[in-house]
């Protein structure tokens, strides 16, 4: 059981629609622990770093315009298999194909307004958590429920 950290963004569409809390609630209910959380507006520079893998793709300009268009909630989630569990809760990239019961399947319609970001793998997670959080902004703490979440 891999103890991992992952980077979640509640994207500008979710903040503007007033559903940030619903998105966070779905992630929190897994039992994963919130290690860091902040509201920020992503700069062009940060967007370029975050989405470097997509530079040159046709949707890239629109993606940067969208992700910088308003505040996001950046969250570092920690726990067993945090990366894959978060991706499962998110659903696939295109909401039209995302399963019912997932964030994108239930709360989104359009691939360009898909409500949530989550790191795709361990290398991305380490890099992305570092883009949004300093070490002293990630809190290591135990919860009274931890023994009821992980054996």
In sign, the C-alpha dihedral spanning 74, 132, 114, 116 is negative
- Interface residues with ligand DAT (CB under 6 A) are 59, 63, 93, 111-112, 114, 117, 120
What is 80-149 written as a DSSP string? ETHHHHHHHHH--SSTTTSPTTSHHHHH--BTTB--EEE--SHHHHHHHHHHH--GGGS-----TTHHHH
* CB of 127 vs Mg ion, minimal distance in Å: 12
Closer residue to ligand DAT (CB): 1 or 55: 55
Nearer to ligand DAT, 37 or 120 (CB): 120
Return the closest-CA partner of residue 113 out of 87, 94, 92. Answer: 94
Query: Binding Mg ion by CB under 5 A: which of 120, 127, 137, 138?
Result: 120
Report in angstroms how near the CB of residue 120 gets to Mg ion at its nearest: 5
Asked if 54 is an active-site residue, the reply is no
40 binds, among ligand DAT, Mg ion, none (CB under 5 to 8 A by kind): none
**Shortest spacing between CB 59 and ligand DAT, in angstroms:** 3
Site of interaction with Mg ion (CB under 5 A): 120
């Amino acid at each position: 059981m891999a103890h991992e950290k992952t980077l979640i963004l509640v994207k500008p569409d979710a903040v503007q629609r007033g559903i940030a809390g619903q998105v966070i609630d779905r992630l929190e209910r897994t039992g994963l622990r919130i290690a860091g959380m902040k509201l920020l507006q992503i700069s062009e520079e940060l967007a370029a770093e975050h989405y470097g893998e997509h530079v040159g793709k046709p949707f890239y300009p629109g993606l940067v315009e969208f992700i910088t268009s308003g505040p996001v909630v950046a969250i570092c989630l920690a726990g067993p298999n945090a990366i894959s569990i978060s991706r499962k809760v998110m659903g696939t990239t295109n909401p039209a194909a995302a399963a019912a019961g997932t964030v994108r399947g239930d709360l989104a319609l359009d691939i360009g307004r898909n409500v949530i970001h989550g790191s795709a793998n361990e290398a991305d997670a380490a890099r992305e958590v570092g883009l949004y959080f300093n070490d002293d902004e990630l809190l290591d703490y135990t919860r009274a429920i931890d023994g009821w979440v992980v054996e």
